[in-house]
Structure 1
């Protein structure tokens, strides 16, 4: 399966962000990809006060990417967006997966929220504006089981183990990973999730500066089940391709049977 990870610098202009995302999907399809992955908050990354009105999973955001998938004949993982939440003060951080006929085949809501309080340094409570999801999701893409996650989820290995146990052979990580943590942790964590679960990992990130005073690390990449980075994006918006060898995945699982040998 040929796949593509799309790297963006989404800002405050939603229409522009969506236009860039569509262009990258067109480039992915033209490059022979069957499955393309976009980053977290693909349609808007900026000040909360300027964020677009949250939408349901069948709103304008979904219509846009369903149309792109259908017109391009492409499996599309639409990064994530602000979904209407459980109350007036919180949204869900939600990813949607579309089949080449435009059908929405999966919805995943980010489970782990970034809450941190370090005296004199940083105070951030994602849970103040975002509600957590409550279920894991594995969906089939062209017959291959794919486990869904979003950004901060990457730091919680038990989530990915549960996806692997549920049959996932590909793990998808759309993200807006911060520069100061990304340069030390991004690749290490992605390779660890690939190795311990013997899965391919497709990680699509935001790149560059965003309001308010935020810089994302980028370095979108595709990692094989051995933990080898088989493709990595340069530090610009663009599309990065790789061909997944699912026979190699099965061979790795036979020769190093850590999933089969687990006791918990």
Structure 2
């Protein structure tokens, strides 16, 4: 492959409350992606621990310096000689709340970048279940573009997908690949997941890599799965189902340049006023 081409892998998992078991599945998934030629492997949100209860998430969270998962994931990146996108870890944050933090690790195990999820999922599902992420998590306030040997990656997490202005800023800041690791609920996933990801790809002329959790999780939580890799024209290159799976696809950054040259909308933003009439 040329210098602007590489293979990306997305690992789809069904994490629960057994951290060691979750990490073992992560290792298997990363090894599978590496065996398929992936140079960059992406894990979903909450890959190492997931419970529907905010209290359970808090009880199992640590400070970043003492989190048991991150060193093991760093060693995994070293052992497999891959760039590893850690979808997110729930860590102790400010004022008694958690942060939902994503990491990009180099093949030497270094933390190249970290990103705290900005947008909090406060919603009422159609079955009446109320989710108030903001009650347990402190939102981040910084968008992040991280450089790899092939591409600049814009970092995001799950609910961020509903906020196009974030991805616009990432793309205008140089991101050619947009990462959307997620634990999308099954109810919202069936309605919006695919459309949101394709829209973010098309709007920004960027590749989307979206590893996902799937299945049933402790506390009655259900996530949608359907991890996806999407090209800058919104075409799905690879899609998982609703069970644990590893998907891979080639990334050709020439497609980003071509899409953006044909429709250079990233340079066409206009300042405007909002008027109310009638």
TM-score range, shorter chain: over 0.9
Query: Residues 213-224 of structure 1 correspond to what in structure 2 (within 5 A)?
Result: 213-224=220-231
- Cα separation, partners in 2 of 1:260 and 1:84, compared to 1, 3 Å: same
Query: Residues 112-191 of structure 1 correspond to what in structure 2 (within 5 A)?
Result: 112-116=119-123, 121-191=128-198
Root-mean-square deviation (CA), in Å?
1.6
Q: Any gaps of 5 or more consecutive residues in structure 1? A: none
Asked if 1:31 is matched to 2:36, the reply is yes
Cα deviation for residue 72 of structure 1 reads: 0.7
The residue number in structure 2 matching 1:50 is 56
TM-score, normalisation: structure 2: 0.90
Rounded to whole Å, the distance in 2 between the matches of 1:119 and 1:240 is 30
Cα deviation for residue 117 of structure 1 reads: 5.4
- Cα separation, partners in 2 of 1:58 and 1:74, compared to 1, 3 Å: farther
Q: Is the contact between residue 97 and residue 105 of structure 1 (CA under 8 Å) also seen in structure 2?
A: yes
SS in 2 for 1:175: coil
Q: Is the contact between residue 9 and residue 40 of structure 2 (CA under 8 Å) also seen in structure 1?
A: yes
Q: Any gaps of 5 or more consecutive residues in structure 2? A: 1-5, 272-278
Q: Is the contact between residue 46 and residue 88 of structure 2 (CA under 8 Å) also seen in structure 1?
A: yes
Asked if 1:74 is matched to 2:82, the reply is yes
The residue number in structure 1 matching 2:276 is none
Q: 1:59 aligns with which of 67, 83, 106?
A: 67
The residue number in structure 2 matching 1:84 is 92
Number of corresponding residues: 263
Q: Is the contact between residue 55 and residue 82 of structure 1 (CA under 8 Å) also seen in structure 2?
A: no
